[in-house]
Chain A
Amino acid sequence: MEMSKWSVMMKDSPKMQLSMLLLFILASSASVYFLERSVTAFLLLLGSLLLLHYTSLSNRLKWIISLLLLVVIIPFATSGGTSQQDYMEVAVQTGIYIAMALGLNIVVGFAGLLDLGFVAFFAIGAYTYGIFASPQAAQLFHSDFFPLAGTWFWPFIIIGGLMAALFGILLGIPVLRVKGDYLAIVTLGFGEIIRIVFNNMDKPVNITNGAQGLSQINQPEIFGFTFSLASQFYFIVIAILLIVIIAVRRLEDSKLGRSWKAIREDEIAAQAMGIPLVKTKLWAFALGASFSGMMGVVFSAKNMFVDPSSFTLIESITILVMVILGGMGSVPGVILGATIISVLNLQILTEVTNFLTQNFSISDTLSPMKMQRLIFGVVLVLIAIYRPKGLITAKPKKVDPGKLIDQPTTDK
């Protein structure tokens, strides 16, 4: 009785929610700050973003709080101990995966086109910067102009995105003639082809340096400041991610976003409404790919190294699992899904493995880190049975009829 009364009060009062949320953020960030390497505290801090999603605060307040959390509180809270770079490494990789998952969500979630080779676009972005910002380009073009300095990183975020979009269209033109299962198989093939091409483009002309990969890629630089630490890359990733999220949000409720969903629901009816199928699908491929390409550039600049082994099928599957787990077509869902899977992959599995090997001396073959695929499989099966629409289901946009009745502005 007491409990239910309390929950009703929480539901009705945004002020209560806000104060509880702030208390939660304070507690979790303090524990991240003071405790050494506490994964639990870090997860709780990230969880505050999820809590924020479920509050009934205004959209503007939600944006302000989440920006504060991401830009100020999380970097500060993790700076307390010696393990800041570990946390930030996880945060950077999570951010990269979120952007990719949001890109794939356009293709799979909005437009309903199953793409099993999505990591190819990430690879294209990574190689675009990798080739030109490493000694590879100097060798290739016999020019002192290369490798490009770190200041070129910034325009290359755009160029990487455009290259990925271009390949998205090139892939799309032949591929979009097929539908459903066939499309999935063809895109899977495309993903593998890109990886194998990069793996073999070291002869006759050495473009990608083959399986050895590209090394000594220049790190980003601005006004003489070089980005080298994860905690510095964190801000680049957050900035790109914000742009991506805003872009996806705006696309979702636009003419183009509605066309994607219409095609997903019924191609014939969509065409009868005047929607061109191929063009609309190509936009989905191009825009989705461009997010992935941009993050590819960040990836290669951060690691200073790329090789084809980073772009295997399991990566494409991982991104797809993120989208399905979170909820196809649901932007907050996909962000949650990508966060859960990356944190699980990067942190929880590693921690559990460390814990087990230290305390129980289990054999290496049984370590949870090796069970990644098993865990993905189990996650997918459970989701398919219990939450087929994902953790946060995509909700259709609701409008206020009151605003639509009167006609203050004239038509035309």
Chain B
Amino acid sequence: MSLLELKGVTKQFGGLTAVNQVDAAIKQGSITAIIGPNGAGKTTLFNLITGIYKPDKGSITLAGTSLLNRKPNQIAGYGIARTFQNIRLFKEMTALENILVGMHTHLHSSLISTLLRLPSVRKEEDNAARHAYQLLQTVGLAEKCNEQAKNLPYGEQRRLEIARALATKPKVLFLDEPAAGMNPKETKVLTELIIQVRDDFDLTIILIEHDMKLVMKISEEIIVLDYGQKIASGNPDEIRTNPRVIEAYLGKGAVRNGL
């Protein structure tokens, strides 16, 4: 059975149908890419799954549990984490604090015990900080732990956002254009990081990406959206040769040049 299932998901903004009757079944442990031209509804689809928007029609289930009519924070609690297209870090907070915020749902100290600073609270905070530091090590930002997020260079901000998402201990990780604005070298590091965290954290990863090299390299399944509709899905080889996808998105030149 698939972990995440979408059936007939539809979202309209006024007269525009941003996402139209999209079905998808995401297998546990897979890396799935969602591609398509700008305005195809990729980020809207992410926002529908993570609860920022409510779908007009259709159903979304995670391991059999419906995600409809749930608040974003509840959906995060079910094990869905995400990064954002335009990086949404907590800018004034340090890298370590950003991760600690990500661990929110896994810290259980009550208000009273916090005010009394009971030993259990201290222990929990210490362990949390240690765990957060490990996550920073995972994405290679350990030495930046005391740096405010706003002072990190762009590529590091992207990686910090991934680490923060990992801190929520998700089952499914959504990455919205993780390689946007990165140079080829950074993209390569990122590609390895994505595969590594999938394996180490036992994740299912869904990403939106325009960098076709990255997409073709890491995805096992690709979903192509155009004008809100799913026009194709399949493994990289199938997508590469699909005439509708070439027409709508990839372009003939790209395929000739050996994608």
Contact = CB atoms under 8 A, between A and B. Distances in A.
B96 interface: yes
Interface stretch (A17-25, A42-50, A79-87, A255-263): A255-263
Nearest to A262: B101
User: Do most interface residues of chain B lie in helix, strand or loop, or is the interface mixed?
Assistant: helix
B142 interface: yes
B114 interface: yes
Centre residue among B72, B133, B146 by max chain A CB count within 10 A:
B72
A15 interface: no
B93 A262 contact: yes
A266 B72 CA distance: 13
Interface string A253-280: 1111011011001101111111111000
From B90, B94, B105, name the one whose CB has the most chain A CB atoms within 10 angstroms: B90
A259 B73 CA distance: 12
Interface residues of B, number: 50
B71 interface: yes
Interface string A130-161: 00000000000000000000000000000000
Given A251-B115, A265-B91, A401 B143 contact: yes
Contacts of A407: 130
Interface residues of A, number: 35
B84 interface: yes
Interface stretch (A2-10, A115-123, A392-400): A392-400
Contacts of B148: 396
B102 A273 contact: yes
Contact of B50 (A265, A272, A399, A411): A272
Nearest to B111: A256
Interface string B92-125: 1110110011101101010100110100010101
B53 to A, nearest CB: 11
A11 interface: no
Given A247-B115, A258-B97, A276-B71, A411 B131 contact: yes
29 contacts: A254-B109, A255-B104, A258-B100, A261-B97, A265-B89, A265-B92, A265-B93, A266-B89, A266-B90, A268-B72, A272-B50, A272-B72, A272-B165, A273-B105, A273-B164, A274-B73, A274-B168, A275-B104, A283-B111, A394-B92, A396-B92, A396-B148, A397-B97, A401-B133, A401-B143, A401-B145, A401-B146, A404-B133, A409-B126
